[in-house]
Amino acid sequence: MSDEHPTGYVDLTTPDSVPAAPTEEAPVDLPPTEATDAVPTPEAPAPAPAPTKAAAFNMGTLPDLRETLQADSAENKSRAEFTTVYDVIDRLESMLDEAKTSMFSPSMVKVDRDEFTSQLAELKKLLPVQLERASALMREAERRLESAQTQANAVVASAQSRAADMVREANEQAQFLAGQENVTELARQKARTILEQAQAKSDHLTQGADQYCTTVMEGLSQQLGKLTQDVQAGLNVLEERQRSAGEQLPKLTLNDYPEAQ
């Protein structure tokens, strides 16, 4: 047990807690890479601008989910949409796996507090970016639905106009050909046929847009649910380690103190 720090570990679940060990102990407990990162250098903040680039959104980069939903599994789609967030979570897990354990409590590990806090901050910055992409996909689905509805309305309006013209022409022909009473009925039947075809095409466009929106929103729901489960699982692991470490810490009794001579 260290004289400067009784426990010899840093509590990761309480960011406000500061280890009592002096700064000279950091190079001994941390791996060489972590100790180097702890030294303030001009190159240390270099990875920070990465989330800023990811925040820029371009509608042209949106994938056409209609072409990939059947080919890719749900797990691959989730990874493709949240690759950056998963990278941060993997780095946090690697830090915990590669960190040194405490001598008296194997379940407790020592990590670079600044590096771990930096990774958490990056995760907080990236989550809104991924949610923004999901919102953009939903807006794109709504835009396509509105476009399909507009096209369907235009088809119906054009068909109605053509039907009205044909009925008008038929009436004119019927008046000219008084002896042919079936001319108007034939025109009406043809007009009804055109209207039915136009209505069928309109229904097809609307159903296709609705199906696309439903597919996109279901995919987004699965991706967001998977991300929430991963983050919650990480928090549960940290809480379990803290609780287990607290139970395994050695406690001093009166017999451990030397008697006065």
Q: Are 109 and 9 in contact (CB under 8 A)?
A: yes
Distance in angstroms (rounded) separating the CA atoms of residues 87 and 190: 62
Q: Which residue has the higher pLDDT, 65 or 234?
A: 234
Q: Comparing C-alpha atoms, which of 120, 53, 86, 78 is closest to residue 218?
A: 78
Of the pLDDT bands very low, low, confident and very high (cuts 50, 70, 90), residue 54 is very low
pTM for the structure as a whole: 0.33
Q: Would you state the pLDDT for residue 259?
A: 64
Domain boundaries, the chain: 77-249
Q: Would you state the pLDDT for residue 197?
A: 92
Q: Would you state the pLDDT for residue 41?
A: 38
Q: What is the pLDDT of residues 191-222, one digit of tens each?
A: 999 999 999 999 889 888 888 888 888 888 88
Q: Would you state the pLDDT for residue 66?
A: 43
Q: What is the pLDDT of residues 69-121, one digit of tens each?
A: 444 455 554 544 455 777 888 888 888 888 787 777 777 888 888 888 888 88
Q: Is residue 145 scored above 70 in pLDDT?
A: yes
Q: Would you state the pLDDT for residue 181?
A: 64
Mean pLDDT of the residues in the chain: 69
Distance in angstroms (rounded) separating the CA atoms of residues 197 and 203: 10
Mean pLDDT along residues 227-233: 86
Cβ-count burial of 155 within 10 angstroms (0-12 exposed, 13-18 middle, 19+ buried)? middle
Cβ-count burial of 44 within 10 angstroms (0-12 exposed, 13-18 middle, 19+ buried)? middle
